[in-house]
Structure 1
Amino acid sequence: MSTVNVTPFSRRAARRLNLRTLILSLCLLTVLLTLAISLYASYTVQRQLLIQTTLEANRVYASKLAESTNLFMTSAIDRLSYSAHRLSGQLHNASQLQDAVDRIRLDSNRFNSTIIVAADGEILAYSPQKVYPAGQHVASPESLAALRQRALYISEPFTAPSGRLIIFIAQPIIAADGQYQGYVAGTIYLQEHNALDTLLGEHPYKDGSNLYVVDEQGRLIYHSQSQRVGEYVERNPVVSALMQGHSGSQQVTNTQGTSMLAGFATVPTTRWGIVAQRPMASVTSELNHLMFITVRNALPLLLVALLLIGWLTRLITRPLHQLAQIAHHLDDQQALHHTNNVRDWYAEAGQLKRAMQAGLRVMQHKIDRLSQESLTDPLTGLVNRRGLEQVLAQWSQNQQRFTLIMLDIDHFKRVNDAFGHDVGDLVLCYIADQLRQHSRQEDICCRCGGEEFMMLLPDVSAEQALAVAERLRLQVAGQNSPTGQPVTLSLGLAQFPETATAVIPLLKQVDLALYAAKHAGRNQTMVAQPAP
């Protein structure tokens, strides 16, 4: 009799234990798979976004440096042209010639050495004076080529007898009667300090990023590792693209086997190529750290979910035990009633399914919330309000001096009313692009909401910031927007800590300055007064 009683109980216990384990395993697997898939999808999207953002940033940086280098070379050529014009008919005055070459060399540190050569190749003046003995004739192929060309001459980078890698720029000296009298020339030592080295020598990242310049033959003429200057790197795909005159950006493995995100651009004057690149590892390491924080923050929620699943499992096994009891008492008059009650419980099983669905919705809500809390405005690609608040909090805590420019599109409602919200979005993106073009690498550009934007400029004076604001305002007012006609901006400007020593008063003062600009007729910049 006792054996008959124990065996059904043992079987019921075994069934309850096995089913409970199955439910727990299934729920645990579902939660972990959902979490893993969500994290993988988020990681993949964020990684691609970071790569694209880095490529574009490097492309813009390389383009800016190419433009600056082109301006530098144009300025150097103009300086030589001006001096050649002044020296016309004056080659007999030795002291004047010496003053001229010294002035050209020392002016803005454009050239490392300068020289004046007569039409027959005689050296008339040189600076510094230790370079050539007076009265000798030039003999280098580049100097002779400049004499033969009798026009503006820019050499390819070449190695001088002194071992220096240099470029040689010569401007002809023409007399009033059109007679060729010689040339005035300057040399730039590519491996030594000068204004060009200063222009290219600073890179905003300290994480393995670097900047280098190649000539038309794919030879390094500038590199942060000076010992590599003169090395040929034409096998690099980016360098190959530059040698064909292309500009752009791409992910590439460099000649040393490192995966890089490179932006590149050409210099029209010299046909050099400038490459700004950042290691892929440094980009992904930031994302890996972010995902680690995400998983760490999700663990408490996961533990809470597991406790809830255990409790729900107990609730599921209880009605199943009731069904087992009914099976052993089929002759009970209340069995049908109890069966009906269990049948009602199956409706509760449907509620459990909906509860699981609700749990998944909670998980998705967390992922959506994580996405919404990202620091990028989805329309313009600028920093959003949350990102701006983080930067302001950090800078104010660190007592970082900065200037805050708040700007607003004048009569933006009219744009939406007249052209529709799609065109209005294009105008917002257009203004965002203008902000990027007028900002430095360390500046922060933000869309605060609607048609309101902000720029944070660290370590600039009020005069410099006002000049930036005015250049931006005039640029936007002077060209057509996506509406087919210009739009205008009203801007307010405030400084930390000069205007206010805390973020909230600073925002209030710059907002008042923006309001004053609008009240005064719009399309102008107002500087905030110090907070009372």
Structure 2
Amino acid sequence: MPALAISRITLRRLILSLSMGSVLIMLILGGTGIYGIQRTQLMDDTLASNQAFAQKLAASASDFLTQAQNDLAYSAKQIAQFGTNPAVMQMEANHLHLQGAKFHSVSITSAQGIILAISPETLQISGRKVPAVDPQTAVLRKKTPTISKPFTTILGNLAILLTHPLYSPQNEYLGYLAGTVYLKADGGLSRLIKQHYFRNDTYVYLVDSSRRLLYHPDPNRLGTIVGTNPVVTAVLSGQTGAERITNSQGVDMLAGYAYIPGAKWGVVVQRPTEVTLEKLSTLMQRVMWLSLLPVLLLLAALWFLSTWISRPLRALSHIMQTGYDGNAAERIRSVRCWYSEAQHLQKALLAGTDTVISRLSQLREEAYQDPLTGLGNRRGLDIALQALESTGQTFSVLALDIDFFKRINDHYGHDVGDQVIRQMGELMRSQARNGDSLFRMGGEEFLTLLPGTPVDNALTIAERLRAAVEASPLLPQERVTISIGIAAWGPDSARRVADTLKEADLALYQAKQNGRNRVERSA
């Protein structure tokens, strides 16, 4: 009978190979899985955030145009009461031009196309006839309120025109009143959009029904036509949404968009996908480096423990080779301590596994926590809202925003701005009650959930927090204030929980509009 071949594979080598392979596969699969989940979550959150920004800007732009047209309508009514009195026309033109930041110039044109009044008067075009190629000539034919497409004015400015017809008390057409908004100048649409704070390379642009850019952070692109871009196509067809695209410049973007029905314009807010995922890549690299030392220690432990595992088997082999003697049973019993050593190995492996799981658990926890303040982030907010909605518990929402935070960053630098945000988080914690949930929504925006709190009590809590911030020395040479919007939800509410957050944002916007450093509640 032929002798059995002895394998060159030892138990020690086999254990080492299997153990090292298992640890490496676990790290690779675990890291890849977590990266994929977080990557998808980050992109989804950015898309949702950009869509929300776009809807907010669309609402603001719509309000801007509606107010501008209402101002024109009111002045047209005033002018009609006095006919074509030059003094009245000039007074109304000056009033419209100076009363706010809507119009860069205001003109009154007769039914024959002659400019009767202009503000500012320094333009010196009174008495001129509107050129045939000017979009104002279409107003003479339509005789209805209009919003023009972009055009170049007599003085060479790229602009849009808002008009309202003039009729006498006898319903005789007298001409029209026109307000001009320059697209490349500060004020009007440009100021409306710039007042919203965007971070991390997020930017906004505005297009009209001809795909022409009415606003863009790059002034050189104003007035140009946007080429192939599915988001522009979607928003100009009246849709509101978000999607990942490659824009007309060939950049991978996460875009949110909203439609402005009255003007047939589209608002697009987008951010490069690469920028969105940059922090995630950095975070994963840090986790891998932090995991490297424990993994190396684990592999070293496996190396030495494999010797202990193989030692009992070598002893048993020696017993079998030398045969049994009087103390063979004792020698075998002595080998049975192998189980104790196996238990030690099991503990070492469990210790190593616990280390990896702890790191992964820490990563998941950080995914729901804002790294700068330690408050919850948007993902944490979603979980809290789901819990409140599932229990049907009444709650109030405080939407907070640090006033003039961009000026703080510009004047003191981003390090001081970050310190103010951290101190804001500490102040919120100091004023919070047991059960309140605190979140940082991004930038200088914060949110507080007050479970079981009606809106009247929420007003008291919000005012106490506002006063505490105002009284705190967050900056050495000036005080820092906040504006707060409040909304409430209960099981009998007709609106959804998500709509309550929007109501709180609208109340916050109202607080900003009413002068800041104040508390407003939703209607």
> What TM-score do you get using the length of structure 2 for normalisation?
0.72
Counterparts of 2:238 and 2:421, CA distance in 1: 47
2:119 is matched by which residue type in structure 1? S
Counterparts of 1:307 and 1:253, CA distance in 2: 48
- Local SS of the residue matching 1:181: strand
Structure 1 residues 117-160: Cα deviation after superposition (integer angstroms, max 9, x where no partner): 12232221012224353323323442222122222122122233
The structure with the larger Rg is 1
Identify unmatched segments of 5+ residues in structure 1: 1-11, 413-427, 487-523, 526-532
Please, which of 478, 482, 487 is the counterpart of residue 472 of structure 1?
A: 487
Counterparts of 1:297 and 1:451, CA distance in 2: 43
Counterparts of 1:87 and 1:395, CA distance in 2: 55
Counterparts of 2:317 and 2:52, CA distance in 1: 73
Q: CA deviation at 1:38?
A: 1.2
- Local SS of the residue matching 1:232: coil
2:447 is matched by which residue type in structure 1? C
Whether the 8 Å contact between 1:50 and 1:283 is mirrored in structure 2 is yes
| Residues 130, 401 of structure 1: alpha-carbon distance in 2 compared, 3 angstrom cutoff | farther
1:443 aligns with 2:445: yes
1:116 aligns with 2:130: no
After TM superposition, list the pairs within 5 Å mapping 1:152-301 onto structure 2: 152-202=145-195, 204-205=197-198, 207-301=200-294
Structure 1 residues 277-322: Cα deviation after superposition (integer angstroms, max 9, x where no partner): 1111111110011112212222232233223223322211221221
Please, which of 95, 98, 105 is the counterpart of residue 106 of structure 1?
A: 98
Counterparts of 1:96 and 1:174, CA distance in 2: 15
Whether the 8 Å contact between 1:442 and 1:458 is mirrored in structure 2 is no
Whether the 8 Å contact between 1:222 and 1:229 is mirrored in structure 2 is yes
Residue 23 (structure 1) aligns with: 15
Counterparts of 2:17 and 2:308, CA distance in 1: 16
2:96 is matched by which residue type in structure 1? I
2:118 is matched by which residue type in structure 1? Y
Please, which of 131, 143, 147 is the counterpart of residue 139 of structure 1?
A: 131
Whether the 8 Å contact between 1:62 and 1:276 is mirrored in structure 2 is yes
- Local SS of the residue matching 1:381: helix
Q: CA deviation at 1:349?
A: 4.5
- Local SS of the residue matching 1:235: coil
After TM superposition, list the pairs within 5 Å mapping 1:316-465 onto structure 2: 316-339=309-332, 342=335, 345=338, 349=342, 352=345, 356=349, 359-361=352-354, 363-374=356-367, 375=369, 376=377, 380-381=381-382, 395=419, 404=428, 442-446=444-448
Whether the 8 Å contact between 2:238 and 2:261 is mirrored in structure 1 is no
Residue 141 (structure 2) aligns with: 148
| Residues 397, 108 of structure 1: alpha-carbon distance in 2 compared, 3 angstrom cutoff | closer
Residue 509 (structure 1) aligns with: none
Q: CA deviation at 1:366?
A: 3.8
1:442 is matched by which residue type in structure 2? E
Residue 476 (structure 2) aligns with: none
Counterparts of 1:287 and 1:48, CA distance in 2: 11
Counterparts of 1:482 and 1:401, CA distance in 2: 28
After TM superposition, list the pairs within 5 Å mapping 1:31-46 onto structure 2: 31-46=23-38
Counterparts of 1:157 and 1:478, CA distance in 2: 48
Counterparts of 2:194 and 2:420, CA distance in 1: 30
| Residues 154, 458 of structure 1: alpha-carbon distance in 2 compared, 3 angstrom cutoff | farther
Q: CA deviation at 1:199?
A: 1.2
1:445 is matched by which residue type in structure 2? L
Structure 1 residues 73-106: Cα deviation after superposition (integer angstroms, max 9, x where no partner): 1111011011001111324422222121112112
Please, which of 40, 43, 47 is the counterpart of residue 39 of structure 2?
A: 47
1:79 aligns with 2:71: yes
Counterparts of 2:331 and 2:29, CA distance in 1: 43
1:62 aligns with 2:78: no
| Residues 265, 443 of structure 1: alpha-carbon distance in 2 compared, 3 angstrom cutoff | same
Whether the 8 Å contact between 1:208 and 1:278 is mirrored in structure 2 is yes
Q: CA deviation at 1:361?
A: 5.0
Q: RMSD in angstroms over aligned alpha carbons?
A: 4.4
Whether the 8 Å contact between 2:421 and 2:444 is mirrored in structure 1 is no
Counterparts of 2:451 and 2:290, CA distance in 1: 29
1:306 aligns with 2:321: no
2:487 is matched by which residue type in structure 1? L
> What TM-score do you get using the length of structure 1 for normalisation?
0.71
| Residues 382, 166 of structure 1: alpha-carbon distance in 2 compared, 3 angstrom cutoff | farther
Q: What is the percent sequence identity of the aligned residues?
A: 31
Whether the 8 Å contact between 2:201 and 2:272 is mirrored in structure 1 is yes
Identify unmatched segments of 5+ residues in structure 2: 1-5, 370-376, 386-399, 401-414, 472-479, 501-520
Counterparts of 2:467 and 2:60, CA distance in 1: 21
Whether the 8 Å contact between 1:175 and 1:181 is mirrored in structure 2 is yes
